[in-house]
Amino acid sequence: MKKLVPFALIWAFFCSIVMVGQASAKTENVATILQVTKDAMVYVDASTESNVSGHVTNGSFVLATPLNEEWVHIQMSQLEGYVEATALTVVTPEKALVAKKGGTNLFTYPSPNAQKAGQLYENSMLFVYGTAPGGWSYVQYGHQYGYAATNTLKKPTAIKKQVDAPNGAMIHLTASPSGEVLGTLANKTIVQQYTIVAGWAYVEAGEQKGYIKASELTDLTIIDNKVYNKGVAVAKGAKKRVALTFDDGPDAKVTPQILAILKKHNVKATFFMVGKNASSNAKIVEQVYKEGHEIGNHTWNHPKLTSLSKASVKQEVDRTSNAIYDAIGQYPTVFRPPYGATNDQVRSVITVPSILWSIDTLDWKHRNADKILTYVKASVKDGSIILMHDIHQTTANGLENVILYLQKQGYECVTVSDILH
């Protein structure tokens, strides 16, 4: 979860922020988010002899500006004043996307009855500083701070892109041409793109981060066209990992059953989707994404790519990527060639890792729920990538026994991208 920085480092943290601000020709102290570590009085002035204007409770979050090593000026909804620095700690935020269709509300307190602090648009990038009881997260978007329902948020996935703007791309704090300008990304800069909202892409390149026009980005010619058929083994003593993968869906009947089983056992998987199925089952694509699973590209019509022209391969791949993007606002992060058929020409088109498998359960052939586990038992080891299909009822019927066996043997089921690192 969130990392808490000891008090001894808080002042150094503040000073580094102020120095950066001064280097940018900003003379005002810079405010940041801190968490309250113990109930504390809020004073009108920076002195315990001054009047008390209120109090803050352990676990709450405040917008804070340093005064000196002993006192911090804090600001909350309807409360402002000074708190002793020993009652506060720095929190390292985590990224999150607004996953709820139509966006979600930002509140001043962790309650749906609290005053609204703003509206957060779908696919907006947020920074989550911590959680509050009742299913709430304290978040930041631009200069907006407050509480959002945790179940409306999702961890983002990054893809590499390249700046394609001869004069560079201006970085904005928010997804708007009127958003505060933070700097410029030079042409050809390689960035990590996390989301696109209203034509704006949230990107990071080293210390530079913010929103640029999505039209100022382009795909890299090649990002990672390597072919993988197993994951990286963990260090000695760490928990062993396997990747469950499902091809050819989503299926209107079987895929939801598989998702329910994965959720029951707190397991994550990777779904390699056929584009025409993703297009006709967009709601299921969205469900897969919202429940934290990885989505991969498995072409539009499931052809043998090595028998196609380069232009046809690209069409199969791009059409599927666009269908997935239309459903979730994100492009697929991995690719699996149908039948495992790939060559140099195919790989020259693919800009994400190509994933094969180390265990073929042959569920597509025998259609026998019990045999799936037999194949897994015979070959599974740390780093295995297991091939199944979410279009067969027998696969759904046999999945729970596979998961129970793997967990009993000490395996953690993770996504393909997780197992590659």
Report, in this order, helix, strand and coil percent for the chain, each rounded to 5: 30, 35, 40
Distance CA 403, CA 411 (A): 9
97 exposure class (CB count in 10 Å sphere: 0-12, 13-18, 19+): buried
Residues 31, 46: Cα–Cα separation, whole Å: 17
Q: Rounded to whole angstroms, how far apart are CA atoms 287 and 255?
A: 10
Cis preceding-peptide flag for 337 (omega within 30 of 0): no
Q: Which residues are catalytic?
A: 247, 389
- 232 vs 243: CA distance, rounded Å: 11
Question: For 307-379, where are the alpha helices, taking DSSP H only?
Answer: 310-328, 344-349, 363-366, 369-379
Residue owning tokens 């299913």: 135
Place of tokens 């407050």: 146
Q: Are 36 and 116 in contact (CB under 8 A)?
A: no
Q: Tell me which residue has tokens 């297009």.
A: 279
316 close to 346: Cβ distance less than 8 angstroms: no
- Measured over the CA atoms of residue 194, residue 196, residue 197 and residue 202, the dihedral's sign is positive
Name the nearest CA neighbour of 265 among 148, 413, 81.
413
Residue 330 CA to its chain's centroid (Å): 10
Residue 247 — φ and ψ, nearest 5°? -105, 160
- The amino acid at 53: S
Q: Are 118 and 139 in contact (CB under 8 A)?
A: no
Please give the torsion angle defined by the CA atoms of residues 343, 345, 346 and 350, in that order, rounded to the nearest 10 degrees. 120
Cα separation, 116 vs 105, in Å, equals 7
Where b means 16+ CB within 10 Å and e means fewer, 270-297 reads bbbbbbebbbebeebbbbbbbeebbbbb
CB atoms closer than 10 angstroms to residue 421: 6
